[in-house]
Amino acid sequence: MKNFNYLILLLFIGNSFMASAQSGKQKKADRLYNDLAYIEAVDVYKELIEKDYNTTYNQSKLGDSYLKLSSPENAVFYYAEAVKDTSISPEYYFKYAQALRGVKRYDESKEWLKKYSSAGKNKAEVDELLSKDIADFKIKDNYTLDKVAFNSGYSDFGAYEHNGVTYLVSARDGGMSKKNKVYSWNGEPFLDVYQLAANSETVSSVTGDINTVLHEGPLAITKDGKYMYFTRNNYLNNKEGKKLKDETNNLKLYRATNNNNSWGDVMDLPFNDTEYSVGNPSLSSDGKTLYFVSDMPNGFGGADLYKVEIMENNMFGNPVNLGNKINTSLDESFPFMAKDSILYFSSNGHPGFGLMDIFKVDLSKETSEVTNIGEPINSNLDDFAYFQKKGSNLGYFASNRDGGAGSDDIYGFNLLKTLILKGQVTDKVNGEPIPNATVRLFTPDNKQLAFLETDTDGNYEQEINRNMKYPIEAKHIQYKEMTGTVDSNNTDDVEELIYNIQLDPIEDVEYLAEINNIYFDFDKSNIRPDAAKELDKLVNLMSNKYPDLVIKIGSHTDKRGSDQYNVGLAERRAQSTYDYLVANGIASGRINAHEGFGEREPAIACDLCSKEEHQLNRRSMFSVVKMK
Q: What is the pLDDT of residues 160-203, one digit of tens each?
A: 999 999 999 998 876 555 444 555 555 567 899 999 988 888 89
Is the predicted pLDDT of residue 9 greater than 50, yes or no?
A: no
The whole-angstrom separation of Cα 379 and Cα 384 is: 10
The CATH H-level (homologous superfamily) assignment of domain 510-626 is OmpA-like domain (3.30.1330.60)
Angle 91-102/106-118 helices, nearest 10 degrees?
170
DSSP H helices in 336-409: none
pLDDT band at 555; cut points 50, 70, 90: very high
Q: Please provide the CATH number assigned to the domain covering 143-415.
A: 2.120.10.30
Weakest-pLDDT range from 7-21, 119-133, 274-288, 481-495: 7-21
**1.10.357.10, 1.25.40.10, 1.20.1250.20, 3.20.20.70: which CATH number matches 28-136?**
1.25.40.10
Overall average pLDDT of the 253-266 stretch = 95
Question: Would you state the torsion angle of the CA atoms of residues 256, 258, 264, 268, taken in this order, to the nearest 10 degrees?
Answer: -10
Biggest CA–CA distance in the chain, Å, is 119
Express as a percent the part of the chain with pLDDT over 90: 64
pLDDT of residue 58: 92
Query: Counting beta carbons within 10 angstroms of the beta carbon of residue 313, is it exposed (0 to 12), middle (13 to 18) or buried (19 or more)?
Result: exposed
594's torsion region: left (phi>0), alpha (psi -120 to 50) or beta? beta
Nearest to 452 by CA among 439, 465, 471: 439
Average pLDDT, the chain: 88
Overall average pLDDT of the 219-223 stretch = 96
- Domain positions in the chain: 28-136, 143-415, 419-503, 510-626
pLDDT of residue 174: 66
Nearest to 538 by CA among 529, 527, 528, 551: 551
The whole-angstrom separation of Cα 4 and Cα 429 is: 62
Beta bridge partners of 537: none
Q: What is the pLDDT of residues 391-419, one digit of tens each?
A: 898 999 999 987 544 489 999 999 988 89
Q: For domain 419-503, is the CATH number 2.60.40.1120?
A: yes
Q: What is the pLDDT of residues 64-102, one digit of tens each?
A: 999 988 889 999 999 999 999 999 999 999 999 999 999
pLDDT of residue 140: 59
